[in-house]
């Protein structure tokens, strides 16, 4: 998996994080760490580009939940906690539709995973970049 970041200036400034490759147990922490870095440097709005991510395992779901919490200024669950970190996704009563993170073009298998786990309802999902970026406008 490779990650790349692009900053799109505007009101607000949006970081576009592109994930190229599968998101799974071998690399999900890299995504969390990258978003943590972005947050520390001032990013508050993120477009997660899934166009080149053919597969997302359960640890990818933990990464999504964690980065959503990070962008809200909250501490994510400890990923070393294993299944309890995964269960925290469904036990988090504060979870609602995230306005500061949006998903771009999840591939069919990834979209099915989001649908089956119920996480699809918490993220705005867009098929094209221009629409996704415009959706952040205040």
Question: pLDDT tens digits, residue range 58-81?
Answer: 889 889 989 998 998 988 877 666
How many other CB atoms are there within 10 angstroms of residue 10's CB atom? 13
The residues spanned by each domain of the chain are 2-134
Cα angle for residues 35, 55, 33 (degrees, 5° grid): 15
95-137 tens-digit pLDDT: 556 789 999 999 999 999 999 988 888 899 999 999 999 999 8
Burial class (CB in 10 A: 0-12, 13-18, 19+), 48: buried
Question: What is the fold of 2-134?
Answer: Transcription Regulator spoIIAA (3.30.750)
pTM comes to 0.89
**How far apart are alpha carbons 126 and 45 in whole angstroms?**
15
């Amino acid at each position: 998996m490779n990650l790349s970041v692009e900053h799109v200036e505007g009101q607000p400034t949006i970081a576009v994080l592109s994930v190229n490759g599968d998101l799974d147990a071998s690399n999900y922490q890299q995504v969390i760490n990258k978003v943590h870095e972005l947050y520390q440097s001032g990013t508050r709005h993120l477009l997660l580009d899934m166009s080149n991510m053919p597969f997302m395992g359960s640890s990818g779901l933990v990464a999504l939940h964690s980065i959503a919490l990070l962008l809200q200024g909250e501490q994510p669950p400890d990923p070393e906690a294993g299944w309890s970190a995964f269960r925290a996704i469904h036990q988090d009563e504060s979870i609602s539709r995230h306005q500061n993170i949006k998903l771009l073009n999840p591939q069919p298998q990834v979209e099915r995973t989001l649908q089956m786990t119920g996480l699809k309802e918490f993220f705005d999902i867009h098929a094209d970049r221009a629409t996704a970026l415009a959706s952040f406008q205040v």
